[in-house]
Amino acid sequence: MLIASGCGEASDAPRCRDGFQGAADGHCYPPANPWPDPTLDDVLAALPPCESTDPDGAIDLAPGCADGACVGMTVDEMASVLGSEPSCQVASWSDQKQLCLWDMGIEGLFEDEDEDGQPDAESVTERIHLLPPYAGQTPQGSGVAVQVSCFIEDLGKPEYIEFEDEGGTLMLTDLIYTRYGLNAYDWGSDSTTDGADGRIDNLYLYGEP
């Protein structure tokens, strides 16, 4: 809070530094909300330019695949394609779901109806989850650890977004592309601040509808 003082002509409101507003009580106050009713265009305009990416086509959005592991594959089929076995654990929301993660950052979600701690043999993953350290990208350059602005440049505006104020900067946290069957998130899971940092850290592929 600033208290204005000095000589000169009397006034109900003091002169205040930039960004603060004078009030009749003689004090200076910051604006109540630095981002009043921001629109999608406001958020997009605040994004930094997309830096160069390294597209390799490892992610194929249409079928929902990464490195050849696709939506609709069993755990054994994914293991065969990826060349290694995953580490599986029960999902936090259901004892009848198994999350199986491969070291390169590819995860599948499988049924475990008999609750034996292993994915059912015929169960197929309903989505492919990509997380650090996964390094593959779409042919246009979208992927994990890629700037949010690159997704907008490559894929256009998402059908649904969420954003939050991080220290006065509007950060996109959720980008939902229903037309591509793609959910992209900047949750800060790869950030030292545990907050959005402008780069996607979790991708979910469902395949195009």
Strand partners, 174: 162, 185
Shared domain for 171 and 117, answered yes or no, is yes
Q: Can you give the residue range of the structural domain that contains 22?
A: 1-32
Q: φ, ψ for residue 152 (rounded to 5)?
A: -65, -40
Whether 43 is covered by a domain: the verdict is no
User: Which of these, 72, 183, 54, lies nearest to 131 by C-alpha position?
Assistant: 183
Q: Is residue 50 part of a domain?
A: no
Looking at the structure, do residues 74 and 136 belong to the same domain, yes or no? yes
> According to the model, what pLDDT value does residue 7 have?
39
b/e sequence 25-64, b meaning 16+ C-beta within 10 Å = eebbeeeeeeeeeeeeeebbeebeebeebebeebbbbeeb
Domain count, the chain: 2
Structural domain includes residue 81? yes
Q: Which two tokens stand for residue 109?
A: 């979600």
Residues of the chain with pLDDT under 50: 1-11, 35
Q: What is the pLDDT of residue 146?
A: 95
The confidence score (pLDDT) of residue 3 equals 36
